[in-house]
Amino acid sequence: MSLIGNIIWFLLGGFLMGLLWLFFGLLAAITIVGLPWARSCFMIAKLTFFPFGKQVISRKLLNQKDDIGTGGLGLIGNIIWIIFAGLWLAIGHVISAVLCCITIIGIPFGIQHIKLAAASLVPVGQTVVTNELATAVKRDQAESQLSSLRSK
C-alpha cells in the first residue's frame, strides 16, 4: 500500500517539495558552514520524495545516546535553520497539506505534509527510519521508562 501511496505522492506534488528540499540542501552545501544542514536537507529530501512507510525520529532516541546534533549544538543549529529555511519549508508543507485535504482522497497526503512540516522545523539531530523500526524504538523507550518507574 505504501508503494501506491508513494507513486501517487511523487506524481501529485511530492516531487516539487522534494526539489525544494534539495535546493535548500545545495544552498547550505555551497557554504562550508552549512554542511550539517545540507546533510539533513538531503536526508529529508529523500523522505519528501517517497514518505509513505517511513518517519522521522530523533537520533538520540534511536542510538540511546547524545551526539553533536542532538545536544546543545543541535538546538542552536535548529534555531538557525528555522530562521533561514525551516520556516519557509514548513509553510510550503502546510499550504500543500491544506490543498491536499480539500478532497477526502487527499487527506493521507495532507497528513504526510504535516509530518514533513514538523521535520522542516527541526531537522538537525533527526534521522529517517521505517515505520516498523520507529515503532520498535518507541516501544523499547516506553518499556525502559516503565521499568524505571516501577523500580522507584
Question: How would you write the pLDDT of the chain (152 residues) with one tens digit per residue?
Answer: 788 989 989 887 789 999 999 999 999 999 888 888 899 999 999 999 999 999 999 989 998 888 888 888 889 999 999 998 999 999 999 999 999 999 898 999 999 999 999 999 999 989 999 999 999 999 999 998 899 898 87
User: Are 57 and 127 spatial neighbours (Cβ–Cβ below 8 Å)?
Assistant: yes
Residue 119 belongs to domain spanning:
2-150
How many domains in the chain?
1
Residue 136: how many CB atoms within 10 A of its CB?
A: 12
CA distance 42 to 127: 11
Pull the grid cell for residue 60.
538520540
Position 98 scores a pLDDT of: 94
C-alpha–C-alpha distance, residues 122 and 44, integer Å = 11
Model-level pTM?
0.85
